[in-house]
A and B are shown apart, each in its own frame.
Chain A
Amino acid sequence: QVQLQESGPGLVKPSETLSLTCTVSGYSISSGYYWGWIRQSPGKGLEWIGSIYHSGSTYYNPSLKSRVTLSVDTSKNQFSLKLSSVTAADTAVYYCARDVSFDHWGQGTLVTVAS
């Protein structure tokens, strides 16, 4: 079955870059689908960040677009998120999921922005 697992630092300092990786098992990213990132914070609920195809084609939430970079590594069956210039408002649980209606999710990883 399709499984996703997020990994990355749980604590990031303000103004730095948040970096997370999602490792997919049970399905080859190269076989299709977009792959997305969603975050959840108490203040803003669920927020879609952006999605990427195995070819590297991306689309982003305009509210975050200037700070977000998505990338994919098909050889490792992984895709990644970078969010720059983070503030406390970026503190959230970050999920990766298979797009478009998100039918498979990772367990989520809490990222706290604090000095």
Chain B
Amino acid sequence: EIVLTQSPGTLSLSPGERATLSCRASQSVISSYLAWYQQKPGQAPRLLIYGASDRATGIPDRFSGSGSGTDFTLTISRLEPEDFAVYYCQQYGSSPYTFGQGTKLEIK
């Protein structure tokens, strides 16, 4: 199974700053089948990015994804107050699908 390792575990930033979150896979992710999710307390995860770089419906363009192979990045260009949450990456190119352990984005 593909293990996804996210870094950092916690990221402390201020609104208006740029956030860069990393997801590293233990082996190459087939066809860049890599997704990013945002989760707020008491809510289900929300799909942000699929196919490594395609924004899901209704997702603001301040969210962008990049990468291929084993290294992927989620960038939030200018943080809004509502962006502070936990972010997960997930690969769906190989069974079993696997998720990273999450990065908590907190207000500095």
Interface residues of A (CB under 8 A from B): 45-48, 59, 61-63, 95, 97, 99-103, 105-108
Q: What are the residues of chain A within 8 A of B1 when measuring CB–CB?
A: 62
Interface residues of B (CB under 8 A from A): 1, 33, 35, 37, 43-47, 50-51, 56-57, 88, 90, 92, 95-99, 101-102
Q: A48-B97, A48-B98, A95-B44 are in contact. Are A103 and B56 (CB under 8 A)?
A: yes
A59 to B3, CA, bound (A): 19
Cβ–Cβ contact A108 & B44, under 8 A? yes
Cβ–Cβ contact B44 & A101, under 8 A? no
A79 to B56, CA, bound (A): 24
- 7 of the cross-chain contacts (CB-CB < 8 Å) are A59-B95, A101-B33, A101-B50, A102-B37, A103-B57, A106-B44, A107-B43
Cβ–Cβ contact B96 & A61, under 8 A? yes
* Contact partner, B51, options A45, A62, A63, A101, Cβ 8 Å: A101
Q: What are the residues of chain B within 8 A of A107 when measuring CB–CB?
A: 43-44
Q: What are the residues of chain A within 8 A of B51 when measuring CB–CB?
A: 101
A93 to B75, CA, bound (A): 28
Which secondary structure characterizes the binding site on chain B? loop
A-B pairs with CB below 8 Å: how many?
A: 50
Cβ–Cβ contact B45 & A105, under 8 A? yes
Q: What are the residues of chain B within 8 A of A61 when measuring CB–CB?
A: 95-97
**Which residue of chain A lies nearest to B101 when distances are taken between CB atoms in the complex?**
A45
A108 to B40, CA, bound (A): 13
Write the nearest CB–CB distance from A36 to chain B, whole angstroms: 8
Q: What are the residues of chain A within 8 A of B46 when measuring CB–CB?
A: 105
A107 to B98, CA, bound (A): 20
